[in-house]
Structure 1
């Protein structure tokens, strides 16, 4: 079941309408994690392009409401890219940071989300990353590292001297993923692709859900889009709530959430390698490469020595 308005009795809520209206229904300190990717104010079909000043004011109202509903141990993860106007870019994380700071939130990480696909620019380098600002409300925040560890680079490496000689030098569960995350963005051949043009990959949200919440906690996305944040929350035993203005995307979000509830939604597995060199290498070595034929004339020219004249040093 998916509720259409806020209800403490439902684990999944998809609200059609303005997120400020939705959050008015919610009690103070009722959400453990806010994770979202707001519109970038670049004129996408689902947004009205505003002046940068008006956009920041709009974001400020939403952020203030998010802080109100956040628990003292909670976190806000605000994923943004660049505002682009006449070829000039403005990093939105830099523009929005003062809003969070003014509200007393504490920045724990500025995470770089790197991906390989996107628009190809002709007058500047193509953008291949966006950022996630992770803020906490207090110093007493939840953080669970073990569920999001990634494989060690040298998993069998051991201490070679000292009192721990012979013991594994790294955590057997894996290493800290760091603050640069390489996760494919959702493009045409991605298993999660819907009609939404700027879709969150589930894997990106999963890391925040697993590390910043416990089972039974509630996750809010004020700009829900295709429903990814609610899907990621439900996938790991959390409650998911979100608001979305566009009716078409509300339909997509509810469909995906229903599929997740039924256990039939296909998502990209966490920590799946973006590129598998073994598979790629196998594909390359099993293909029969055609060796170009070399004519006798070409061969004779390549074998000839150029008639260089050696000039004595004193003559130069």
Structure 2
């Protein structure tokens, strides 16, 4: 029998284009207004293993160039979701959503939500409160944009609540499909015991991107991640019959991304369900 462990998988999928390439070079080959959602989490310039720490000025210049290309390829009814945390220097924090906001406004994009992503695990700080949230800036190109709330509704807290007066007295007052998840999302980050954990220090949870894919795109639309890492945004797009595009400079991450795509196609990829409640030891809910 041949040793199939040495057989390299083809880096190809009918609905995915994922390359080890500089993001400007990758995006410049994409057609104008061809992407319906651009969702990413760029490096925070804090010296992680996948980035070279540079001056804040140069970091902003690089982000400005990437954002300019993203705006060019964004569909008129499309959305950009830039997920960021803090740059930290000499113990002082610089919130990158505030630092980068002007770059998007320079292109006349419109901010629809500043989504707070909160999670329970992270580094414990000694001289300030431990950081347990990051933000997603959701911008659109125009007033006409795709927004589908029903696919991302979450269970209502009181699903049996009824109107107590007026013409609808006695009828259910909540939407039977669930409620709007609001702009604060409690989704576990990907740590060592997470079902999705791959060899990346700051991995996107698939469920976080799924909520954006389902609400901000339609079937057959195209999703781009210019800092794709190990491919969580591609997985979220492909799971829901969208086209996935992305790139990263680290070949090992791209190899992992393709391996995850193949596992998805084979029905072997494990992901945390998008709306699964966070474990609460006081109520003994199942994680």
Bucket of the pairwise TM-score, normalised by the shorter protein: over 0.9
- Report whether the alignment pairs 1:35 with 2:42: no
1:2–1:13 CA contact under 8 A, matched in 2 = no
Aligned length: 278
Instruction: Tell me which residue corresponds to 1:247.
Output: 251
Cα shift at 1:156? 0.3
Instruction: Tell me which residue corresponds to 1:26.
Output: 30
- Report whether the alignment pairs 1:143 with 2:136: no
CA–CA separation in structure 2 for the residues paired with 1:140 and 1:3: 36
Structure 1: gaps (5+ residues): 283-316
CA–CA separation in structure 2 for the residues paired with 1:2 and 1:220: 21
CA–CA separation in structure 1 for the residues paired with 2:208 and 2:31: 27
2:87–2:95 CA contact under 8 A, matched in 1 = yes
CA–CA separation in structure 2 for the residues paired with 1:3 and 1:100: 33
- Report whether the alignment pairs 1:65 with 2:69: yes
Cα shift at 1:247? 1.1
CA–CA separation in structure 2 for the residues paired with 1:102 and 1:46: 28
2:15–2:238 CA contact under 8 A, matched in 1 = yes
1:2–1:12 CA contact under 8 A, matched in 2 = no
TM-score normalised to structure 2 length = 0.94
Instruction: Tell me which residue corresponds to 1:165.
Output: 169
Cα shift at 1:16? 0.6
| Pairwise CA RMSD | 1.6
CA–CA separation in structure 1 for the residues paired with 2:202 and 2:136: 15
Instruction: Tell me which residue corresponds to 2:269.
Output: 265
Change (3 A) 1:218 1:109: same
Instruction: Tell me which residue corresponds to 1:236.
Output: 240
Counterparts of 1:191-202 in structure 2, within 5 Å, are 191-202=195-206
Q: What secondary structure does 1:280 align onto?
A: coil
Q: What secondary structure does 1:121 align onto?
A: coil
Q: What secondary structure does 1:205 align onto?
A: helix
What CA deviation, in whole Å up to 9, does each residue of 1:137-160 have, x standing for no partner?
111100000000001010000001
Structure 2: gaps (5+ residues): 1-8
Cα shift at 1:10? 3.4
- Structure possessing the higher radius of gyration over alpha carbons: 1
- Report whether the alignment pairs 1:13 with 2:17: yes
CA–CA separation in structure 2 for the residues paired with 1:281 and 1:239: 35
Please list every run of at least 4 consecutive aligned residues from structure 1 whose deviation after the TM superposition is greater than 3 angstroms: 1-4, 276-279
Instruction: Tell me which residue corresponds to 2:81.
Output: 77
Q: What secondary structure does 1:83 align onto?
A: strand
Change (3 A) 1:215 1:22: same
Instruction: Tell me which residue corresponds to 1:203.
Output: 207
1:2–1:258 CA contact under 8 A, matched in 2 = no
Instruction: Tell me which residue corresponds to 1:223.
Output: 227
